[in-house]
Amino acid sequence: MSAVTQHRPGAGRSAATDEPLLVVENLVVEYPGKGFRAPPFQALKGVSLSIRAGETVGLVGESGSGKTTLGRAVLGLAPVTGGEIRYAGDRISGINKKQRRALSDDLQVVFQDPYTSLNPAMTVNDILTEPLLVAGVSRTDANKRVRDLLDQVKLPQDAGQRLPREFSGGQRQRIAIARALSRDPKVIVCDEPVSALDLSNQARVLDLFIEIQERTGVAYLFITHDLSVVRHISHRVAVMYHGEIVESGDAGAVTSTPEHPYTQRLLLAAPVPDPVRQLQRRADRQRLATQLAAQDEQAGAGVGGDEAHSTDPSREA
Ligand SMILES: Nc1ncnc2c1ncn2[C@@H]1O[C@H](COP(=O)(O)OP(=O)(O)OP(=O)(O)O)[C@@H](O)[C@H]1O
Per-residue pLDDT tens digits of the chain, which is 317 residues long: 444 445 554 444 444 557 799 999 999 999 998 888 888 999 999 999 999 999 999 999 989 999 999 999 999 999 999 999 999 999 999 999 999 999 989 999 999 887 788 999 999 999 999 999 998 999 999 999 999 999 999 999 999 999 999 999 899 999 999 999 999 999 999 999 999 888 888 999 999 999 999 999 999 999 999 988 999 999 999 999 999 999 999 999 999 999 998 888 888 877 666 776 777 777 777 778 887 888 877 776 543 333 333 344 445 44
Domain count, the chain: 3
Look at residue 199 in the predicted model and tell me its pLDDT: 87
Amino acid occupying residue 254: V
- Ligand 1 centroid – CA 270 distance (Å): 23
Residues 164 and 292 in one domain: no
Q: Are residues 190 and 291 in the same domain?
A: no
Tell me, what's the pLDDT at 271? Answer: 67
Residue 28 is assigned to a structural domain of this protein: yes
Q: What is the pLDDT of residue 313?
A: 41
Is 240 in the same domain as 291? no
Bridge partners, residue 25, by sequence = 84
- CB-count exposure of residue 252 (10 Å: 0-12, 13-18, 19+): middle
In terms of domains, do 200 and 176 share one? Answer: no
Last residue of a domain, one of 162, 184, 206: 184
For residue 232, being part of any structural domain is answered with yes
The answer as to whether 137 is a domain residue is yes
At residue 279, the pLDDT reads 72
Q: Does residue 239 sit within a domain?
A: yes
Residue 80 lies in a domain: yes
Atom 7, ligand 1: which residue's CA is nearest? 31
- Beta carbon of 67 within 6 Å of any ligand 1 atom: yes
139 and 54 co-located in one domain: no
| In a shared domain, residues 4 and 123 | no
pTM of this prediction?
0.85
CA of 44 to the centre of ligand 1 (A): 10
Q: What's the CATH number where 44 sits?
A: 3.40.50.300
Please check whether residue 124 lies inside any domain of the structure.
yes
Is the same domain home to 96 and 133? no
Is 115 a pocket residue for ligand 1 (Cβ < 6 Å)? Answer: no
* C-alpha distance from residue 258 to each of 63, 152, 252, 312 (Å): 19, 36, 9, 10
Q: Clarify whether residues 8 and 53 are in a common domain.
A: yes
Atom index in ligand 1 nearest the CA of residue 32 equals: 4
Are residue 81 and residue 129 in the same domain, yes or no?
Answer: no
- pLDDT value for 302: 42
Give the pLDDT score at 17: 57
**Per the domain annotation, does 62 fall within a domain?**
yes
Torsion, Cα 7 196 244 15, to 10 degrees, reads 40
Residue 266 placed within a domain: no
Boundaries of domain holding 297: 271-301
